C-alpha cells in the first residue's frame, strides 16, 4: 500500500507519493520525477483534424450515446483507451465524464499536468478504468502517485480464452499487478467466476449499459414482410460468423442476411447474403434499427456491446450462452439464447422460434430486458464504485 510521503520504486527510478494538501505543481513534480528521460513530449500531426489528442475529454463519440447524469456517476471520470473501440463504445454509454487516452500516450509533464487539472476541474472522487493499455497504465500510475486519496476501480473486458493472445494476457497480468500494488482499489472481470483470480476482484458482474440512441425504428422488428438478419461483427474464431450466417440463411423465417464481413459463397448458400459496409456507428445504428434480428451467437464473449446496441434500438439478438449472473429467467434469455452456438440446427430452430413471436410481444420482451439490464448495471456500479 502506498502511503503519503513514501519513496517507492517505479520502473528504474524512485517516486515519491504526493502528500495531501500539496499544490498541483508539487503533485505534478511527484508524478513525473520517476524517470524524466522517459517522458518526451510528443504532438500528433499538426493540422491533422482527424487525429485525436492523446488526452481527449468528453469527445463527441464518447458522449453522444451516453445516458443522462446519474448520481452513481457524479464525481466519477471513466478512463479508457482510444483505440480499443469496443471498450470505448462500452464506456461511451455510461453517464458522466469520459477521458479517452491514446494507447501509447507517454504521459509527459504537460499531459500529466493536463490530466491532474482535469481531475481537479471535475472534482473527481473516483476514477473508473475500462480496459488497459500502456497509455492508460501510465495515466493511472500518475494519478495514484499524485492523488492518493482517489478511488481507482478497473473493469476488465473479455473472457480468459482471449489470453491465448500475448497482448491480452500481458495486460491482464498488469491488471492484477496494479491491483496488488494498490494502484487499483478494486477490480471487476466481466466474466462470471473470474473473481477468484484476485482478492480485489468483486464477485459480481458489472454489466455494460445499452447506449442511448435517438434513432427510432420505422416499424417493429419482425413486422415486415421481408425479414432481415444482420451479422454485424468480424469474422474471427469467437464471433462464430459462419454458424450464424449459415443458420440464418437456412432458416425459412429469414429472407435476407446482411453481413459486414465477406462470406464465402461456396460454404453457405449466398442467395440470401448481402454484403454491407460498416461506415460509422451512427450509420450502423440506422441499419441496426431497421433489421429484424441481430446474429450474435458467439462462442466466446463477456457482455457484448452488439447485444447492448441492439437492445437500444429494439432489435432482438440471437446470442450464445453468456453465463451472466442476472436475467436467466427472463423471456429474452430463454427465447433468444442458443445453448450450443456450434449447433447450426439449433441456430435455425432458435431463429424460427424467434420469428414466430408476434412483433408487439417481442418489442415488450426486449423493452423489459433492456430495463432489467439498466437497473442491474446501475445497482452493480453503485456497489463497485464504493467497494
Partner 1 sequence: MQRVCFVSFEIVPFTGGGIGTWLGNTLNAFQSPDTHCHVLFYGRQAISQVEFATAYPNATLHVLDVTAPGDDVLLPGQPAEPTPFESSKTWVSYALMRKLEQLERDLGGFDIIEFVDWGGPGFFTIQQKKLGRSFANTDVVVRLHGTETILRQFETRPWGYENLTLADIEHQAISQADYCVSHIKTNIIAYQETYGLPDTWATRCIVELPPIKANTDAIDTITPTSSTNLCFSSKFQGVKRPILFLAGAVEFMSASAEYTGSAIFAAFISDQAQVHQIHQIIPEHLSDRVTLATSASNEARDKVIRSSVVIFPNAFETFCFAAYEASMAGGVVVLNEKNSAFGPDTPWIDGVNCLKFDGTVAGLVALLARIFEPGNWATLGAKLAPIKYHHEPVPYWLQKRGRQIPAPAISHAPAPVSIVIPNRHGPDELLLQLQDIAAVEDRPYEIIVVDRGSDDYASRHVLDLLETSDTDNGPHSVRVLRRTTASNYAALANAGIAAAQHDIVAILPKRQRDTSSFIGAAADAIAAGGADIVLPTLRILKHYDDLDVLKFWIPLGGALRTNLFVNRFGFGAFIARRDLLIRQPFDEALPGEWSWDVLLRLAYSGSNVVVDIDRGPSVTESDLWHWSSAKEHERQRLIEGVRRNAWRMRDRLDFPWTSLGDGELTSSEWSIAPQAQVELQNARNHIAWLESERRHLIQDVPESASSGDGTLARLQAEHRAAVEAYQALANARTVRLALRLGNTVKRVLGRGR
Chain residues binding partner 1 by CB under 8 A are: 25, 28-29, 32, 36-37, 40-41, 43, 46-47, 49, 60, 63-64, 109-110, 113, 214-216, 218-219, 224-225, 228, 258, 274-277, 279, 282-287, 289-291
Query: In the bound complex, what is the minimum distance in angstroms from residue 261's beta carbon to partner 1?
Result: 13
CB of 329 to partner 1, least distance (A): 34
Closest approach of partner 1 to the CB of residue 99, in Å: 17
Q: Which is nearer to partner 1, 61 or 380 (CB)?
A: 61
Comparing CB distances to partner 1, the nearer of 184 and 209 is 209
We find the least distance from the C-beta atom of residue 163 to partner 1, in angstroms, to be 35
| Helix axes 305-313 and 281-288, enclosed angle (nearest 10) | 60
Nearer to partner 1, 129 or 146 (CB): 146
Enumerate residues 6+ apart whose C-beta is below 8 A from 139. 79, 101, 105, 107, 115
User: What cell does 158 get?
Assistant: 473479455
Least separation in angstroms between residue 214's CB and partner 1 is 7
CB-CB contact of 128 with 153 (8 Å): yes
**Cβ–Cβ under 8 Å, residues 60 and 92:** no
Query: In the beta sheet, which residues pair with residue 157?
Result: none
Cβ neighbours around 193 below 10 Å, total: 12
Comparing CB distances to partner 1, the nearer of 32 and 312 is 32
Q: Which is nearer to partner 1, 188 or 290 (CB)?
A: 290
Beta strands of the chain (E only): which ranges? 7-10, 13-16, 55-57, 76-81, 97-101, 126-130, 151-156, 186-189, 228-231, 256-259, 273-275, 293-296, 317-319
Q: From residue 258, how far is each of 95, 234, 287 by CA, in Å?
A: 32, 13, 10
Nearest distance in Å: CB 266, partner 1: 22
* Closer CB to partner 1, 290 or 350, in the complex: 290
Amino acid at each position: 500500500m502506498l502511503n503519503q510521503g513514501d519513496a517507492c520504486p517505479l520502473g528504474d527510478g524512485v517516486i515519491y507519493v504526493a502528500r495531501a494538501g500539496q499544490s498541483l505543481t508539487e503533485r505534478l513534480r511527484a508524478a513525473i520525477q520517476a524517470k524524466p528521460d522517459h517522458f518526451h513530449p510528443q504532438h500528433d500531426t499538426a493540422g491533422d483534424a482527424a487525429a485525436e489528442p492523446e488526452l481527449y475529454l468528453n469527445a463527441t463519440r464518447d458522449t453522444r450515446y451516453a445516458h443522462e447524469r446519474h448520481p452513481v456517476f457524479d464525481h466519477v471520470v471513466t478512463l479508457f483507451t482510444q483505440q480499443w473501440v469496443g471498450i470505448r463504445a462500452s464506456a461511451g454509454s455510461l453517464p458522466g465524464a469520459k477521458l479517452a487516452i491514446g494507447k501509447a500516450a507517454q504521459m509527459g509533464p504537460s499531459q500529466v499536468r493536463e490530466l491532474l487539472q482535469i481531475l481537479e476541474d471535475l472534482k473527481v472522487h473516483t476514477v473508473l478504468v475500462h480496459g488497459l493499455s500502456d497509455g492508460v497504465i501510465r495515466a493511472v500510475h500518475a494519478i495514484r502517485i499524485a492523488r492518493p486519496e482517489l478511488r481507482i476501480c478497473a473493469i476488465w473486458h473479455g473472457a480468459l480464452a482471449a489470453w491465448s493472445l500475448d497482448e491480452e494476457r500481458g495486460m491482464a497480468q498488469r491488471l492484477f499487478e496494479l491491483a496488488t500494488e494498490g494502484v487499483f482499489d478494486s477490480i471487476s472481470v466481466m466474466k462470471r467466476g473470474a473473481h477468484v483470480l484476485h482478492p480485489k476482484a468483486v464477485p459480481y458482474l458489472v454489466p455494460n449499459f445499452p447506449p442511448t440512441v435517438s434513432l427510432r425504428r420505422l416499424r417493429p422488428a419482425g413486422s415486415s414482410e421481408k425479414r432481415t438478419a444482420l451479422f454485424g461483427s468480424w469474422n474471427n474464431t469467437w464471433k462464430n460468423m459462419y454458424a450464424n450466417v449459415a443458420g440464418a440463411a437456412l432458416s425459412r423465417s429469414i429472407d435476407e442476411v446482411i453481413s459486414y464481413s465477406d462470406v464465402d459463397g461456396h460454404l453457405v448458400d449466398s442467395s440470401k447474403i448481402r454484403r454491407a459496409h460498416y461506415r460509422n456507428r451512427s450509420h450502423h445504428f440506422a441499419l441496426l434499427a431497421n433489421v429484424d434480428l441481430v446474429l450474435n451467437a458467439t462462442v466466446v464473449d463477456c457482455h457484448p456491446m452488439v447485444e447492448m446496441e441492439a437492445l437500444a434500438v429494439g432489435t432482438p439478438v440471437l446470442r450464445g450462452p453468456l453465463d451472466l449472473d442476472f436475467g436467466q429467467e427472463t423471456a429474452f434469455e430463454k427465447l433468444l439464447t442458443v445453448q450450443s452456438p456450434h449447433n447450426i440446427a439449433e441456430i435455425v430452430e432458435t431463429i424460427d422460434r424467434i420469428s414466430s413471436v408476434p412483433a408487439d410481444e417481442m418489442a415488450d420482451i426486449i423493452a423489459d430486458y433492456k430495463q432489467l439490464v439498466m437497473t442491474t448495471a446501475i445497482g452493480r456500479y453503485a456497489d463497485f464504485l464504493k467497494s
